[in-house]
Amino acid sequence: MSSNAPYNATVDCPPTLTDRQVIDFCRNGFLLLPGVVPDEINRRVVDYLETVNDTYEPTPMMEQEWFVEGVLKNPEAAGAVRSLLGRNFTLPNIISNHRGPLPWPHVHGWHRDGGSLYTPKLEYLQVFYWPEECTDDMGPTEVLPGSHFLRTKAPLMAHYGKIAGTVSCAGPAGTIFLTVYGIWHRRTRATSGPRGVGQFRNLLKYNYWRTTAPCRDWRIEPDCDFNLINFDPPKPVAFEQFQGGIAAARMFCWLCGIEDEYTFRGGQCWPIVPTVRAGANQMGIPPSLKRDADI
Amino acid sequence: MELKQRVERCLERYRAGERIEADLTALLDAVSRPQRQSLLYLQASSSHPYSRAIGISIFEEGKDSEGVDAQGNFLYRSIKEALDDGWRIIKFPEMAAAMDDQNNYGLGCEFILERWR
């Protein structure tokens, strides 16, 4: 049966992220956009999930133009996706719903999703959307910032419990958060009683894909001095000193399309010395990112 | 309740002239039961045995495996605090990952501790 859903359709829109915001995404591995989807769209989504398709894969919702326009092409979310994946990124072809009962006494195990790769390349994004408010007592997803650079295998993470420095992705209705696919995450315990229209926690999840080579075509900040920016993921995390920042810088260079310009030479070279005197270039900074480089 | 506390309570009742046969029978059952191993995983920022914990989980009968108190704080903030509470290290951080010095593996330096009860 044919479908009018724009599965894998390519989309373009204005990028919304700046240089510093793209670097923050590389450092953290996620970006939270609270309440960006309008309430009217949120209500229609919840109604659809309650009355039309309450499965764990309500992909046919993409046949609804209001969903595609209001959620998948939401200007702030799609603008962030455009910034990170470049022009003509694709829309998803699968929509999952992590629909959970409330309350739910168990904490899900820490994991990275199946199919994860450890790479500086950002070929796709995993995106989540709360159509209804999700508070901290409703078992929101939590993520470990910077963990997209921490290598392990999901079955070897099952004994992990509380980790310092995690971030709750709780947010008001219409919140969207973008993640590097391999970031460590889990569903937390839901202590609340039933809430919302369906008395469930609905969390939609879908992927966008890159179709063009990476280049620095997001919102350029002419005053951004890449010598003075801290690339390290937030602490406390489990990195040997500077290793997280080096990995984040490598990802940023790949996104800029200057991967070939960057080799970490060791010692005190870019990006690990953001305390360098203003006006000086760190040793080893890629030529395209030097002060006074042509943009 | 810890075995020592149960014996102390039994002794108090005996001194108070109470009948303690049932208590003694229960104690006998308790000491006859095979002890069970409890496990504590602490991930630390370095391999130093007193280093600060960045991750925790406990696998012990009757305990939440998250390893936090009612305020969400770690039950043990360091390896030393766990040692002081009677835990015993049975595995020190894995050194094999050091062979690849340009990548980071797992969650810091992991200590595995046990106690029997």
Beta-strand (E) ranges in B1-117? 37-44, 53-59, 88-91, 104-105, 109-116
Q: What pLDDT, on the 0 to 100 scale, is given for residue A237?
A: 67
How close is the nearest chain A Cα to the Cα of B50, in Å?
A: 16
Burial degree of A109 (CB within 10 A; 0-12, 13-18, 19+): middle
B58-76: per-residue pLDDT in tens? 999 989 999 999 999 999 9
Q: What pLDDT, on the 0 to 100 scale, is given for residue A2?
A: 62
Q: What pLDDT, on the 0 to 100 scale, is given for residue A165?
A: 94
Q: Name the residue facing B67 among A149, A150, A162 (closest C-beta).
A: A162
A159 touches B: beta carbon within 8 Å = yes
B12-25: per-residue pLDDT in tens? 999 999 999 999 99
Q: Residue A167: its chain B contacts at CB < 8 A?
A: none
Q: What pLDDT, on the 0 to 100 scale, is given for residue A295?
A: 55
Q: Is the pLDDT of residue B3 over 60?
A: yes
Q: Residue B108: its chain A contacts at CB < 8 A?
A: 238
A282 close to A269: Cβ distance less than 8 angstroms:
yes
Q: Is the pLDDT of residue A103 over 90?
A: yes
Burial degree of A91 (CB within 10 A; 0-12, 13-18, 19+): buried
Q: Residue A236: its chain B contacts at CB < 8 A?
A: 45, 52, 54
Across the interface, whether the CB atoms of B43 and A160 are under 8 A apart is answered yes
Query: Would you tell me the crossing angle of helices A19-28 and A243-256 to the nearest 10 degrees?
Result: 130
Angle at B96 (CA atoms; ends B92, B102), nearest 5 degrees: 120
Distances (CA, A) of A71 to A51, A119, A168, B23, B31: 19, 28, 21, 65, 62
CB pairs < 8 Å spanning A and B = 70
Mean pLDDT (chain B, rounded): 92
| ipTM confidence | 0.91
pLDDT bracket for residue A264 (50, 70, 90): confident
Q: Is the pLDDT of residue B50 over 60?
A: yes
pLDDT bracket for residue A235 (50, 70, 90): confident
- Mean pLDDT calculated for residue range A63-70: 98
Q: Is the pLDDT of residue A229 over 80?
A: yes
Across the interface, whether the CB atoms of A156 and B72 are under 8 A apart is answered no
Q: Residue B65: its chain A contacts at CB < 8 A?
A: 107, 161
pLDDT bracket for residue A130 (50, 70, 90): very high
pTM for this model (two decimals): 0.92
Across the interface, whether the CB atoms of A162 and B55 are under 8 A apart is answered yes
Residue of A nearest to B58 (CA): A161
A249 touches B: beta carbon within 8 Å = no
- Mean pLDDT calculated for residue range A12-34: 98
The one-letter amino acid code at B53 reads A
Q: Is the pLDDT of residue A236 over 70?
A: no
Residue of A nearest to B53 (CA): A164
Alpha carbon dihedral A250, A253, A255, A257, in 10-degree steps, equals -130
B108 close to B51: Cβ distance less than 8 angstroms:
no
Specify the range with the lowest mean pLDDT, choosing from A177-186, A217-226, A230-239, B32-41: A230-239
pLDDT bracket for residue A294 (50, 70, 90): low
Q: Are strands A150-151 and B104-105 parallel, antiparallel or unpaired?
A: parallel
Chain B interface with A: residues with Cβ < 8 Å: 41, 43, 45, 52-59, 65-68, 72, 74, 101-108
pLDDT bracket for residue A115 (50, 70, 90): very high
Q: What pLDDT, on the 0 to 100 scale, is given for residue B100?
A: 85
How close is the nearest chain A Cα to the Cα of B7, in Å?
A: 34
Across the interface, whether the CB atoms of B108 and A238 are under 8 A apart is answered yes
**Rounded Cα distance, A290 and A256, in Å:** 13
- Mean pLDDT calculated for residue range A177-205: 94
Mean pLDDT (chain A, rounded): 94
How close is the nearest chain A Cα to the Cα of B83, in Å?
A: 19
A161 touches B: beta carbon within 8 Å = yes
Q: Name the residue facing A159 among B57, B74, B108 (closest C-beta).
A: B57
The rounded percent of chain B whose pLDDT value lies above 90 is: 72
What structural domains does chain A harbor? 10-209 (2.60.120.620)
Residue of B nearest to A155 (CA): B106
Q: Rg of chain B's alpha carbons, rounded to an integer?
A: 19
Which of A117, A148, A160, A250 has the most B C-beta neighbours within 10 Å, making it the best mutation to test the interface with B? A160
**Rounded Cα distance, A75 and A190, in Å:** 31
Across the interface, whether the CB atoms of B106 and A165 are under 8 A apart is answered no
- Mean pLDDT calculated for residue range A87-106: 95
How close is the nearest chain A Cα to the Cα of B97, in Å?
A: 10
Query: CB A158: neighbour CB atoms within 10 A?
Result: 10
Helix (H) or strand (E) holding B25: helix B21-32
Across the interface, whether the CB atoms of A164 and B74 are under 8 A apart is answered yes
